[in-house]
Amino acid sequence: MINETLEKAFNDQINAEFYSEYLYLSMYAYFDRMNLQGFKNWMDVQRQEERAHAMGLFQYLQDRGGKVTLDKIEQPKTNWESPLDVFEDVLKHEQLVTSKINALADVADSVKDRAAVSFLDWYIKEQVEEESNVSNVLKTLRLICNDKQCIYMLDKELAARTFTQPVIE
């Protein structure tokens, strides 16, 4: 049976991951309105990843005999000024997620739950990759500013991103 404090922390993270999915779905809709199909695809892949992250935590909590408690999902932002503005928000959001994952790992450490610590190691590493991916797109967007030809080229590049179901251990 999982520690009650750790169970609550897992539930908080599960709900944060579902909010992330919701946020990326909102960004997906924004890019769809702009007819930027590659940017839309990038957000769709991101959305799928967040759902997989949430479900990995969800299943882990179930496997440990914990009770999953789903909360309401806050309404995400729906409008941005530009693709650059969107990706600046994405980076801030991923940095927030990183801090939440680290806080969850801190709880697992504090209650001396070695299995949870080991499990969460995957999420910690995943957040390094998440922030790096976003930072790379953001650097490109800052470089090209609002050059429409460059945005079009980046849109074509982002269309190539695909979702691969992660193996969360």
Asked if the structure places residue 114 within a domain, the reply is: yes
Asked if the structure places residue 164 within a domain, the reply is: no
pTM: 0.95
Asked if the structure places residue 166 within a domain, the reply is: no
For residue 76, the 8-state DSSP code is: P
CATH code at 15? 1.20.1260.10
Residue 18 burial by Cβ neighbours in a 10 Å radius (0-12, 13-18, 19+) = buried
Show the tokens assigned to 35: 């007819």
The residue to which tokens 């190539």 are assigned: 160
Number of structural domains in the chain: 1
pLDDT at 169: 77
Residue-wise pLDDT for 77-121, tens only, equals: 999 999 999 999 999 999 999 999 999 999 999 999 999 999 999
Asked if the structure places residue 63 within a domain, the reply is: yes
Tell whether the model's pLDDT for residue 1 goes beyond 90.
no
Asked if the structure places residue 167 within a domain, the reply is: no
Residue-wise pLDDT for 73-86, tens only, equals: 999 999 999 999 99
Asked if the structure places residue 50 within a domain, the reply is: yes
Q: Which domain holds residue 103?
A: 4-70+78-158
Asked if the structure places residue 45 within a domain, the reply is: yes
